[in-house]
Amino acid sequence: MPSSHAPRLPVSSITIDALSLDILQQQHAELRRPPASLTKLMTAYTAYDLLAQSGGSWSDTIAIDPCDVHEVADDETRMGLVPGERIALGRLLEGLMVVSGNDAALALARHLAGSQAAFAQHMNDHARALGLHDTHFISASGITTPGHLSTARDMAMLAAHLLARYPDLLAITAQRSFAHRTLQKANQNALLGENGVDGLKTGYTQAAGFCLAATARRWCAGHALPLRLINVVLGADSRASRDEQVRAQLDAGFAIAAAAEAQRV
């Protein structure tokens, strides 16, 4: 009897130099697929931009709209917001990036753009401006939605642009844990602190599989300064498999970069 489930897409991966954007390795990197919470890389990028346009500050506080709590399904990740509480925008950014709070994503989108749809339009405008031609966003959270798609290549390039324009975000994505009210939760990026890994974002949905955009900074033979690479894996079948692929591909990426530099000498 034929299965009613669509076949799982092959794992997509890519490793790039964060500064030059040179591609060091890639596999199925142009395959369009759900990016899960790696979407929040663009949520953060858009939030920084809209906040700057408004003249606001991350220390500004807002009251949480009940919709931004109640519209998050029970099986979605949260930072633990409650209706009516006042919270600094900077705390929402931490909840967004460290524990992948979908409530934080909705609150930022509503406050900064007026609605989820308007915020998503800004996200798509940025995607076009950055040359992310295979990406289209429907939500700020990355929940599985028809038409909400990206690629490993686009996610890696987005991560590089995000770090270049808003480098202070790296300190947030490097946080090992997050606490708000009764919630205490570890960052799901288990690679943090391992061989120079200091960010960025994990993601998982049933449709997307296990996803990770990771960045590492290491001394690399032939380079006068430490080299920063970004690796993205989309669609792994387990957290352990995803993490192992990222480890191996970062190691290979630094080896490729060192060999390329040696050939230039």
Q: Which residues are catalytic?
A: 37, 40, 100
Helix (H) or strand (E) holding 68: helix 66-70
What gap in Å lies between CA 191 and CA 140, rounded to an integer?
25
Length of the chain: 265
The answer for residues whose C-beta is within 8 angstroms of residue 50's C-beta and 6 or more apart is: 112, 113, 119, 122
Q: What spatial distance separates the first Cα and last Cα of the chain, rounded to whole Å?
A: 60
- Reference 199, options 175, 218, 220; nearest CA is 175
| 205 strand-pairing partners | 209
185 carries a ligand binding annotation: no
Tell me the helix, strand and coil percentages in the chain, rounded to 5: 40, 20, 40
Maximum Cα–Cα distance across the chain: 62
Which residues neighbour 60 within 8 Å (Cβ) at sequence distance 6 or greater? 88, 89
Q: What is the CA radius of gyration of the chain?
A: 18
Pairing of strands 177-180, 86-88: unpaired
Residue 72's H or E segment, with its range, is none
Q: Which residues are annotated as a binding site for substrate?
A: 201
